[in-house]
């Protein structure tokens, strides 16, 4: 190093010290441990491959929610000389939007800009103890909608439209790992990836990537329904907990 203050290297653990005295003091502790050894990965682990298949899949059921509160003035102000509590935020209403890949009770289809169709239900509640009614509603979703939804899985691939077939024939890159597709590779050929919930074609993929994506859809972690809030940690969570 050109900086003379940081050229005192411990050859046991590769720590850089800023002085000879610092190095001598460090070695007293370093000698109590084994030296650091550089170990390179073996041939099987030398290459890092794509693994995050769940990040490439749209979750089949998502809930978006938000709370509205009223401010109740406090009769007696609490706090310190710097800040004082003047009001209490009390949850008065909430709204939730349930978005699902397949139709369910009281849902209606909505077409997005990319042409995909989702089935949506809007739920609104207001009144005292809104945070309690929200948690009870979530419990009903978990008890009824979630078991029914995962009972709909394992559907076969539906017949491709002419546009989907043309898109599949012209695909040269895997929709998951972004590597080249080879139709003449018997070990990992190009296959038609589809949703096991709707049976609809999703895109072209390697057979190995298709199998890994299927494992994600059938995993227990995929049955956890995301409930998304704007600023949950900063506000809404304080109303629920």
Q: What pLDDT, in 10s, does the model give residues 139-172?
A: 998 888 888 888 888 888 999 999 999 999 999 9
Output the CA torsion sign for 226, 230, 233, 238: negative
Residue 134: exposure state from Cβ atoms within 10 A (0-12, 13-18, ≥19): buried
**What is the average pLDDT score of the chain?**
86
Hey, CA dihedral for 137, 143, 146, 148, is it positive or negative?
negative
Find where tokens 């995962």 sit: 150
Check residue 145 and report its DSSP letter.
I
SS3 127: coil
Q: What is the pLDDT of residues 4-57, one digit of tens each?
A: 556 888 888 888 888 889 999 999 989 888 887 667 777 777 777 777 887 888
pLDDT tens, residue by residue, 184-214: 888 899 999 999 888 989 999 999 999 999 8
Question: Per-residue confidence at 76, pLDDT binned at 50, 70, 90?
Answer: low
Instruction: Report the predicted TM-score, pTM, of the whole model to 2 decimal places.
Output: 0.70
Residue 86: pLDDT over 50: yes
The DSSP code sequence of 166-233 is HHHHH--B-TTT-PBP-TT-TTS-EEEEE-TTT--EEEEEEHHHHHHHHHHHHSGGGGSPPEEETTII
- Comparing CA positions, the residue from 140, 204, 211 lying closest to residue 172 is 204
């Amino acid at each position: 190093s050109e900086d003379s203050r940081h050229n005192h290297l411990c050859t046991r653990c590769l720590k850089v010290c800023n002085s000879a005295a610092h190095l001598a003091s460090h070695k007293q502790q370093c000698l109590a441990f084994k030296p650091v050894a550089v170990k390179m990965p073996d041939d099987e682990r030398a290459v890092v491959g794509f693994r995050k298949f769940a990040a490439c899949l749209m979750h089949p059921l998502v809930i978006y929610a938000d709370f509205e509160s009223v401010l109740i003035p406090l009769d007696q102000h609490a706090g310190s000389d710097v800040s004082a509590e003047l009001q209490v935020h009390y949850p008065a209403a909430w709204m939730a939007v349930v978005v699902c890949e397949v139709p369910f009770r009281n849902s209606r289809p909505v077409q997005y800009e990319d042409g995909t169709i989702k089935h949506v239900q809007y739920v609104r509640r207001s009144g005292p103890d809104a945070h309690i009614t929200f948690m009870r509603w979530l419990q009903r979703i978990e008890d009824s909608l979630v078991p029914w939804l995962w009972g709909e899985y394992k559907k076969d691939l539906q017949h491709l439209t002419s546009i989907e077939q043309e898109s599949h024939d012209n695909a040269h890159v895997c929709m998951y790992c972004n590597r080249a597709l080879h139709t003449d590779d018997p070990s990992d050929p190009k296959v038609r990836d589809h949703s096991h919930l709707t049976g609809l074609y999703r895109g072209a993929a390697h057979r190995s990537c298709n199998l890994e994506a299927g494992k994600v859809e059938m995993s227990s972690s995929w049955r956890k329904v995301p409930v998304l809030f704007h600023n949950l940690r900063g506000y809404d969570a304080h109303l629920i907990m």
